[in-house]
């Protein structure tokens, strides 16, 4: 099979696609950079017949002919074009200023002598950080063998992984962006966090809860939150029935998932390595009080708090891996969303300041979502098993925005390793933090919970804001929803219990609900897809909208190739349609990774053979301005 010939055929067919919708305005980054396009002239082009580029020509003569062709194109487009390097006798690079590469390609492709024109894009290595725990567990054999499975692209059994590398390939982290971690404090001397942690504040008023000998102060380091058996059993004591426990280093673990240093040759990588972490200590022994938490939220966002020095480093993102049962109380509601509480006369609350709040759904085994995750304006995050089903401990309900990995151990017996925990930064101290005690959780000292689902989303939001700082909380939520991957309905099992995994049900405070298959009604829009979320905020229209628009346009304009008006199907990473009359598949890659080019158009079947052939990116054929105007009637219950 002549793959090059077939690919050329695919380009000729698909290269004829032109925009039927209004052209979207180029982004600021596109408009201010040099447009760079590869253009191919038709063999019948007059300029080729008049002066063919024969092989015997020297470099100067070739460059001169390239300039002549650029000049010819300039006269017909009215643009000032510059010749770039020559690729073949009828293909060369053309550059221009004052418009985007997409717009230049569209205008050149409309000329009768041009076969096709596409942006000349910069490609980069598909890199993986050199942190050893990213790919596998530590050499001490403590695991997990899966390493940071939750950050990598979905593969094998790990269906719910978020594809952080796909996002890293699209944006450089804004190192001035601040993400606040409202938690138990952060150990900023951890080797994977050193230099990333800002001076924060300890907001805990109750001295026994604070466990550091005083009330509020500028030291947001975690002194430990251990509870002894004596404290747990003391009648009437402040920590009665809180449960005996060693120090959790919870805030340090959350901070590591968001911003652990990548490419330092040790430990792990954070979702948004490079952001600044603002520790706001609101949890101590046996948790923390709403008053301290609400004050911490306001201070973190840069709002003045009486009696506390103003925060010199206001955060755009607040991660709250904390919560409790009950409805959203007014202190949280009025702090988060001033627009919903204008009768109080407040104008400086978080939503008005474009501050994004991300909160964990809760771990009460499938009960209703707790506070503050159930407050309006909060991005509430549920937890998933590696296979994409709701993990047993995660709460659920209509308040959930999106779901992300929460860690799970699959089948675990005494002494056996947890297979899919959420590995993160920690300390070796059982009570007070140990100097030089930087460590990472593993398969035996493992971390699981929606507490660790939330920072995966918060880190993704930080990447989105790095790409588009002007995004509002509503814009962030919209992009997360539109880019989410659909929940699976297969792949789960209950270990030795033969009971099949069923669909999730409406939660009740009186009934536990273990592993179940998520629905959009109860677990949010889908599974977090960091790479697609970045692409969604960087490109006009949603990933799904662009795919549907191209497929609809193909069927309308080229019925000889795509004659059937059938439902759209999905086979990761493709959204595609199959046309049985011609035997041709045409698809768009809507999930980054897996060896295919994101937003790429592929064809196969019929004259194109049995291997998907890349024909270019969606924007090379059709420039979407929003949802497709043409719709295809779908069978009842089917999904696009």
Output the pLDDT for position 31: 31
Given a cut of 90, is residue 613 above it in pLDDT? no
* DSSP E strand stretches across 90-222: 91-96, 114-119, 178-183, 201-202
Output the pLDDT for position 129: 65
Q: Label residue 60 by pLDDT band (50, 70, 90).
A: confident
450-463: average pLDDT:
97
Burial class (CB in 10 A: 0-12, 13-18, 19+), 183: buried
Give me the CATH topology for the region 148-539: Rossmann fold (3.40.50)
171-191: average pLDDT:
95
Residues above pLDDT 70, as percent of the chain: 85
Given a cut of 50, is residue 12 above it in pLDDT? no
Output the pLDDT for position 2: 30
315-319: average pLDDT:
97
Considering the domain 27-124 in this protein, what is its CATH number?
3.30.70
Given a cut of 90, is residue 574 above it in pLDDT? no
Q: Label residue 608 by pLDDT band (50, 70, 90).
A: confident
Bigger pLDDT: 4 vs 172: 172
Q: Label residue 162 by pLDDT band (50, 70, 90).
A: very high
Q: Is the pTM of this model over 0.85?
A: no
Output the pLDDT for position 379: 97
Given a cut of 70, is residue 342 above it in pLDDT? no
**CB within 8 A of 475, min separation 6: which ones?**
468, 537
Report how far Cα 51 is from the mean position of its chain's Cα atoms: 51
Long-range contacts of 33-36 (CB under 8 A, 24+ apart): 33/100, 34/95, 34/96, 34/97, 35/95, 35/96, 35/97, 35/98, 35/99, 35/100, 35/101, 35/103, 35/104, 35/119, 36/84, 36/93, 36/94, 36/95, 36/101, 36/119, 36/120
List the domain boundaries for the chain. Answer: 1-24+542-640, 27-124, 148-539
Report the catalytic residues. Answer: 183, 250, 451
Output the pLDDT for position 639: 22
First to last CA, the chain: 33
Taking CA atoms, 149 is separated from 155, 461, 483, 554, 584, in Å, by 9, 20, 20, 38, 35
158-171: average pLDDT:
92
Bigger pLDDT: 411 vs 156: 156
188-201: average pLDDT:
97
Does the N-terminal peptide bond of residue 372 adopt cis geometry, omega within 30 degrees of 0? Answer: yes
Q: What is the pLDDT of residues 521-572, one digit of tens each?
A: 999 999 999 999 998 888 755 667 778 777 877 777 777 878 776 778 888 8
Given a cut of 80, is residue 126 above it in pLDDT? no
13-41: average pLDDT:
45
Beta-carbon neighbour count of residue 36 at 10 Å?
A: 18
Of 214, 186, 192, nearest to 280 by C-alpha is 186
Of 369, 383, 382, 380, nearest to 325 by C-alpha is 369
Output the pLDDT for position 10: 35
Q: Which of 30-44, 201-215, 514-528, 614-628 has the lowest average pLDDT?
A: 614-628
Q: What is the pLDDT of residues 414-437, one digit of tens each?
A: 778 999 999 999 999 999 999 999
Is the dihedral angle over the CA atoms 288, 289, 290, 295 positive or is it negative?
A: negative
185-204: average pLDDT:
96
Return mean pLDDT, the chain: 83
Same fold across 27-124 and 148-539: no
Q: What is the pLDDT of residues 478-531, one digit of tens each?
A: 889 988 999 999 888 887 778 899 999 999 989 999 999 999 999 999 999 999
Residues above pLDDT 90, as percent of the chain: 50
């Amino acid at each position: 099979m002549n793959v090059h010939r077939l690919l050329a055929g695919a380009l000729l067919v698909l290269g004829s696609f032109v925009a039927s919708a209004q052209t979207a305005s180029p982004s600021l980054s596109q408009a201010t950079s040099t447009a760079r396009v590869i253009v191919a002239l038709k063999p019948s082009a007059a300029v080729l017949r008049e002066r063919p580029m024969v092989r015997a020509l020297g470099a100067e003569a070739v460059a001169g002919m390239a300039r002549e062709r650029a000049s010819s194109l300039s006269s017909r487009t009215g643009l000032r074009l510059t010749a770039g390097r020559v690729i073949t006798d009828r293909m060369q690079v053309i550059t221009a200023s004052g418009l985007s590469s997409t717009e230049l390609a569209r205008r050149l492709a409309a000329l009768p002598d041009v076969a096709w024109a596409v942006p000349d894009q910069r490609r980069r290595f598909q890199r993986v950080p050199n942190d050893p725990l990213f790919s596998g567990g530590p050499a001490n054999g403590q695991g997990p063998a899966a390493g940071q499975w939750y950050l990598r692209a979905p593969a094998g059994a790990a269906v719910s992984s978020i594809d952080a590398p796909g996002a890293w390939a699209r944006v450089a982290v804004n190192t001035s962006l601040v993400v606040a971690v409202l938690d138990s404090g952060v150990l900023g001397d951890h080797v994977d966090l050193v230099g990333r942690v800002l001076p924060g504040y300890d907001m805990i008023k109750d001295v026994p809860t604070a466990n550091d000998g005083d009330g509020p102060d500028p030291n947001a380091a975690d002194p430990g939150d251990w509870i002894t058996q004596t404290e747990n059993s003391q009648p009437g004591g402040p920590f009665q029935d809180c449960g005996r426990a060693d120090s959790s280093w919870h805030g340090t673990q959350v901070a590591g998932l968001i911003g652990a240093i990548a490419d330092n040759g040790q430990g792990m990588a954070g979702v948004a390595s490079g952001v600044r972490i603002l520790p706001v200590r609101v949890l101590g022994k046996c948790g923390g009080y709403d008053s301290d938490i609400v004050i911490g939220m306001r201070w973190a966002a840069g709002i003045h708090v009486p009696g506390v020095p103003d925060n010199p480093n206001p955060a755009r993102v607040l991660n709250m891996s904390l919560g409790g049962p009950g409805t959203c109380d007014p202190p949280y509601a009025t702090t988060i969303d001033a627009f919903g509480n204008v009768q109080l006369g407040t104008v400086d609350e978080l939503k008005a300041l474009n501050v994004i709040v991300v909160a964990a759904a809760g771990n009460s085994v499938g009960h209703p979502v707790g506070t503050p995750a159930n407050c309006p304006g909060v991005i509430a995050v549920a937890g998933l098993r590696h296979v994409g089903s709701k993990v047993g401990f995660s709460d659920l309900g209509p308040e959930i925005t999106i779901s992300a990995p929460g860690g799970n151990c699959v089948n675990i017996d005494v002494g056996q390793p947890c297979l899919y925990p959420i590995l993160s930064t920690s300390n070796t101290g059982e009570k007070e933090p140990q100097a030089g005690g930087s460590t990472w959780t593993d398969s035996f000292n493992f971390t699981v919970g929606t507490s660790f689902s939330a920072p995966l989303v918060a880190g993704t939001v930080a990447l989105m804001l790095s790409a588009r700082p002007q995004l509002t909380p509503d814009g962030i939520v919209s992009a997360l929803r539109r880019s989410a991957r659909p929940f699976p309905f297969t792949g789960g099992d209950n270990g030795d219990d033969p009971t099949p995994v069923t669909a999730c049900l409406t939660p009740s405070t009186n009934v536990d609900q273990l592993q179940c298959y998520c629905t959009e009604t109860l677990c949010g829009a889908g599974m977090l897809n960091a790479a697609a979320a970045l692409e969604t905020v960087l490109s006009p229209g949603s990933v799904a909208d662009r795919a549907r628009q191209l497929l609809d346009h193909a069927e309308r304009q080229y019925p000889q190739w795509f004659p059937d008006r059938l439902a759209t199907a999905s086979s990761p990473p493709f959204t595609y349609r199959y046309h049985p009359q011609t035997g041709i598949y045409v698809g768009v890659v809507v999930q980054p990774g897996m060896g295919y080019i994101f937003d790429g158009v592929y064809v196969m079947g019929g004259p194109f053979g049995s291997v998907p052939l890349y024909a270019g990116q969606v924007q090379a054929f059709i420039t979407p301005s929003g949802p497709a105007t043409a719709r295809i009637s779908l069978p009842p219950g089917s999904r696009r």
